Structure 1
Amino acid sequence: MPRQGLTNARVSAAAAELADSVGLSRLTVAAVARHFGVSDAALYVHVRSRDALIEHVAVRAAATFADTLAIAVAGRAGRQALVGFADAWRAFAVTHPGQYAATQLQLPPEVGTRSAGHLRMIELSYAMLRGYGLDEPALTDAMRFVRSTFHGFTSLETVDGFGHPRAVDASWQSILDAVHATLSNWPIQKQEQQ
């Protein structure tokens, strides 16, 4: 029987907060149980394993991330949408490092295909890129380029991986200029010939 006041939503929310504070790799059922002052066994009513706990965090975080991206690109297209999308991506990754890490995990198909947040993130990403006039297969290639760029930058930023004295924000703006220029001149004809 579930402990009174302990719900799946509360467990997921606490796990997400803990992931941000201790890191996703250090998130455990025991840590969440300690947060609530209950035994590990009391939590297993709500999550069956650590993997399931991580999946709950990923689904919850994806919904929050998708909401953040949607607000950032609403009513924008082209470069404005790209900058809004990129800045929202960066802010989420830096502010919620554990939750961000969870959104990047490969989830089991039965979880990932039912995660509305993950599906919205994909839709928002592709919609932003369609503003550059891209269609398949260039659209998928461009998404991989953008995701790799933003993920790489934010992953380095969250571990203080930029030691050069140049301001990180200045580098970010230059990168956005480069991404915009690349997307505006995507090599579609070369791809179609291959």
Structure 2
Amino acid sequence: MQRPGLTEARLVEAAAELADASGLPAVTVSALARRFDVRPASVYSHIAGLDALLDATAAFALGELGDRLAETLPGKAGRDALFAFADAHRDYARAHPGRWQFAQRRAAPDTAATVAGGRMARAARGIVSGYGLAPDDEVHAVRLIGSAINGFVALEAGGGFEHSTPPAAESWARVLDAVDTSLRNWPTHPVDPTN
């Protein structure tokens, strides 16, 4: 029997809130059942299982992040777009650390999370296309941007910059300047990956 008012959307939102408060590993069917004061079977009447819940919550987080990008990116190109894109990611990760973890989770194919992830990839691709890179190089450039953002955010979230100066915000700006410089000076000759 379904509990009145309990829906997949409410479960997903509760999973996102739980992840922000306690981390992604805290999100379980049992934890959600306790939160809504129901039995786990009631949760399963709204979701297919834990993997489906995690995928749906990843899609939720990616959708929120995509909405932020849709607000901040229009009218920007080059360095301005790069900084807006990166800042949106870092700000989201700092405000919603658990949701950020969900957004990094590899989702099952053909789910709402993979669709939402595609939205992020298209936004990043739009930024690098503004630098005039060859289409074959755009994938590499998107990976560079993602690596810089995700690496910095992960180190910052783990406390990696807390015991040193200058402040992380200063390093963040320098890292993004370095990425911008790399994109503006992209090598025109492919590098042999075996060297």
Shorter-chain TM-score tier: over 0.9
TM-superposed CA distance for 1:149, in Å, is 0.7
TM-superposed CA distance for 1:95, in Å, is 1.2
Deviations 1:110-155 (A, max 9, x none): 215x744222111111111111112322100011111011000001
In structure 2, the CA distance between the partners of 1:110 and 1:117, relative to structure 1 (3 Å rule), is closer
TM-superposed CA distance for 1:61, in Å, is 0.8
Aligned pair count?
A: 192
Give the match's secondary structure for 2:159: coil
TM-score if structure 1 supplies the norm length? 0.93
Q: Percent identity?
A: 40
Q: Verify the 8 A CA contact 2:107 2:114 in the aligned structure 1.
A: no
1:38 aligns with 2:27: no
User: 1:133 aligns to what?
Assistant: 132
TM-superposed CA distance for 1:68, in Å, is 1.1
Q: Verify the 8 A CA contact 2:29 2:50 in the aligned structure 1.
A: yes
Which residues of 2 match residues 40-119 of structure 1 at below 5 A? 40-111=40-111, 115-119=114-118
In structure 2, the CA distance between the partners of 1:33 and 1:137, relative to structure 1 (3 Å rule), is same
The CA RMSD over aligned residues, in Å, is 1.7
Structure 2: which 5+ runs fail to align?
A: none
Cα distance in structure 2, aligned partners of 1:61 and 1:83 = 20
Cα distance in structure 2, aligned partners of 1:47 and 1:12 = 10
Structure 1: which 5+ runs fail to align?
A: none
Cα distance in structure 1, aligned partners of 2:191 and 2:170 = 35
Cα distance in structure 2, aligned partners of 1:55 and 1:69 = 21
TM-score if structure 2 supplies the norm length? 0.92
Q: Verify the 8 A CA contact 1:73 1:128 in the aligned structure 2.
A: no
